[in-house]
A and B are shown apart, each in its own frame.
Chain A
Amino acid sequence: MTATTLRPFVTALAALAAGFGVLAIGLAVSGYDPVLALGALGRGAFGSWYTFGSATLVRAIPLILLGLGVALAFRAGALNIGAEGQFYAGAIAATWVGIHVTAWPSGLAIGAVWSAATLAGVLWIALPVLLRVRFGVMEVISTLLFNFVADAAVSYAVTGPLQEAKRVYPQSDPIADSARLPLLPGSRLHGGILLAVVLAVVLWLLFTRTRWGFRLKAVGLSPRAAAVSGRIPVKRVLAGALLWSGALAGLGGGVEISGVTYTLFQNLSPGYGFTAIAVALLARLHPLGIIVTGVLFGALEAGAQGMQREAGVPAVAVQVAEATIILAVLLAEVLGRRAAERAVAAEDAA
């Protein structure tokens, strides 16, 4: 293995270390015992096979799906920060379809639920795509704002049209049995894990072996060169990347409904859409790497619950670690780039 192939791994490890370091320091400063707290974190994630399957992997599934979506967009230089909202859009659609397919055979029901979720994700990102292509509005902001709209949409759905028949709680009726995913016996790990892994492999092949994958990369690195020398229709590639990104995020929402919660309610997602950004960046946008980082962050989220239970540390504190990891990856990238730039600049300056 040469130095260049090792670099992304080293970077990832360094970023992880930085994230945990900041978390540990924060815990110590706040008066918690970092060793105890981090130990609780570890147990919450890897304490037993059951924990690993039902806590960590279950959380890894939406992270992988959303991470793939975010990575797809990022590869083309499009910043989809709205995966959270697209997830909810998918969840809403999945719930509605799932409630209505009671008479369908299981395979068809699940297919319908997933398709609806995927389509909803596409529709949810469609307006930001339009704004970007027609009006040049930065998709970062538009997709971000749509997250808040999605929150409102879920709130409206569960207190209105999709509320349970009993009208007691702000949640939907559960979806039909036929629309629920099979579980691994003895755990809460559902069939979505297969989907996530398959999609990761498929995406990897598409990225590395097809013209479409190459064009995404070219546009992401240099839209100008892609347009001038590559004769690539940049806007179309960007729009496509964003739409597919929304599709994956929406699908993530559908999988969560059909595999975990079976009902729709507010705050269904503990911030999956944002954690997915860290998942994608830490894996340097590599689909197979996203399987690993998805599991890693799933562990982090599962562990956070354990940390809150055992050590009393608010679970939301891990978001600080996640943010630190993103920053660390960015910094590592800058350092690597600077070294390469210096050599070129020297020659041009003479």
Chain B
Amino acid sequence: MTGEAAVLTGFLAAAIRISTPLLLAATGEMLNERAGVINLGVEGAMLAGALASAVGAAAGGAWAGALLAVLAGVAVAGVFAAVAIGARADQIISGTAITLGSVGLTGAIYRMAFGAGGPGLSLPTFAAVPIPVISAIPVLGPSLFNQPALTYVAWLLVPLAWWFLFRSWWGLALRATGESSEAARASGVPVRRVQVMATLAGGALAGLAGATLVLAQVGTFAEKMTAGRGFIAIAIVVLGRWHPVGILLAALLFGAANALQFAFQAMGLSVPYQLFLVMPYALALLALAGAVGKAQAPAGLGK
């Protein structure tokens, strides 16, 4: 492979690797918001999933970690569902509180289990799984089709989510709930149940996203490691217009922007690293601002 091709391949591979947790969390949050519930606890769920995946992987291997992460995400989302849907408290403040609580809880558990500020753990991770034949295509092959299993899972969810939302009755019921819960209820939709299920599903995916972060990207757990990725996922949902395919593209965009730092390094350009640190947040803000046509949001979001 030539030098430039190598850089390009490396860049694409990194972009996809970085975008995977964002894609998972954003897909989950999309389902949540399409049902009319905005869940700022997604960051907390992702963090809880990250810690759970570390614990699970250390005990029983990568897949055990992923499973535990999903459960942790569901648990955090469950608390949110109880407060925001069950008791109908303000969604935004309760979601924020849950993220705060999750940060505190994961920090406390991590320190108790692994000691304060210790060296990074060594965990069994998800190795890249090349898909036979396609992974041999120049440039695209090694970058797109030689990814950890969880990336393929994330991609599969895109057409699945599309089919669910637009071709199944329950997906229709979910969309109706997000537009007008009263009208949906009058049509016989069990609104609360739909919202709770959507929230739990969002939590599960957020937890899985945390697992991806630990087991397929960074390789270890650190306090507050999600660093706002959950909130960026919310921006991705807006940028992707609450549509599975749009979200896939938006997540890839964020992944690419983030991957730029590796491309720059590989090309020998030096830029203060804080700039790359800031980039995803700046991009998220741009995405939110540029998403003109806010009328596309589910009409009943947050109510």
Contact = CB atoms under 8 A, between A and B. Distances in A.
Direct contact of A and B (CB under 8 A): yes
Interface of A: 26, 30, 79, 81, 127, 131, 134-138, 140-142, 144-149, 152-153, 155-156, 160, 274, 277, 281, 313-314, 316-320, 322-324, 326-327, 330-331, 333-334
B228 interface: yes
B74 interface: no
A41 to B, nearest CB: 14
Interface string B264-284: 000000001010011001101
Residue of B40, B108, B232 with most chain A CB atoms under a 10 A cut-off: B108
A152 B277 contact: yes
Contacts, number: 127
Given A277-B96, A281-B93, A320-B105, A131 B87 contact: no
A331 to B, nearest CB: 5
Contacts of A322: 100-101, 104
A26 B101 CA distance: 12
The 7 closest A-B pairs by CB, nearest first: A319-B104, A323-B101, A326-B97, A316-B107, A317-B108, A330-B89, A314-B111
Contact of A146 (B83, B281, B289, B290): B281
A82 to B, nearest CB: 11
A320 B108 contact: yes
Contact of B282 (A26, A149, A317, A320): A149
Interface in B40-88: 40, 83, 87-88
A231 B108 CA distance: 50
B288 A144 contact: no
A137 B289 contact: yes
Interface in B91-114: 92-94, 96-98, 100-105, 107-109, 111-112
Interface of B: 40, 83, 87-90, 92-94, 96-98, 100-105, 107-109, 111-112, 116, 223, 227-228, 231-232, 234-235, 272, 274, 277-278, 281-282, 284-285, 288-290, 292, 294
Given A146-B281, A330-B90, A323 B83 contact: no
B111 A140 contact: no
Nearest to B95: A140
Contact of A141 (B94, B102, B235, B292): B235
B111 A145 contact: no
A331 B83 contact: yes
Contact of B93 (A30, A79, A149, A324): A79
B100 A323 contact: yes
Contacts of A135: 288-290, 292
Contacts of B96: 81, 140, 277, 326
27 contacts: A131-B289, A137-B288, A137-B289, A145-B281, A145-B284, A148-B278, A149-B281, A153-B274, A156-B274, A277-B93, A314-B112, A314-B116, A316-B107, A317-B104, A317-B107, A320-B108, A322-B104, A323-B97, A323-B98, A323-B104, A326-B93, A327-B97, A330-B83, A330-B90, A330-B97, A333-B89, A334-B88
Given A30-B112, A141-B231, A152 B89 contact: no
Nearest to B292: A135
Contacts of B281: 145-146, 148-149
B234 A141 contact: yes
Given A131-B285, A327-B89, A334-B88, A152 B278 contact: yes
Contacts of A152: 274, 277-278
Contacts of B101: 319-320, 322-324, 327
A331 B97 CA distance: 12
Nearest to B96: A81
A314 B103 CA distance: 12
B289 to A, nearest CB: 4
A316 B103 CA distance: 8
B285 A136 contact: no
A147 B231 CA distance: 12
Nearest to A316: B107
A126 B237 CA distance: 24
A152 B232 CA distance: 16
A153 B289 CA distance: 22
Contacts of A140: 40, 92, 96
Contact of B272 (A156, A319, A323, A334): A156
A325 B234 CA distance: 25
Contact of A144 (B88, B228, B274): B228
A281 B116 CA distance: 32
A131 B93 CA distance: 20
B186 to A, nearest CB: 14
A145 B285 contact: yes
Contact of B294 (A136, A146, A326): A136
A277 B96 CA distance: 10
B104 A316 contact: yes
B227 A148 contact: yes
Given A145-B281, A148-B277, A326-B100, 12 more contacts: A26-B105, A79-B93, A131-B285, A135-B288, A135-B289, A145-B232, A149-B278, A152-B277, A277-B96, A317-B104, A323-B98, A330-B90
B112 to A, nearest CB: 6
A324 B82 CA distance: 13
- For B87, B98, B223, the residue with the greatest tally of chain A CB atoms inside 10 Å of its CB is B87
A18 B78 CA distance: 19
A333 B289 CA distance: 32
Given A281-B93, A316-B108, A131 B100 contact: no
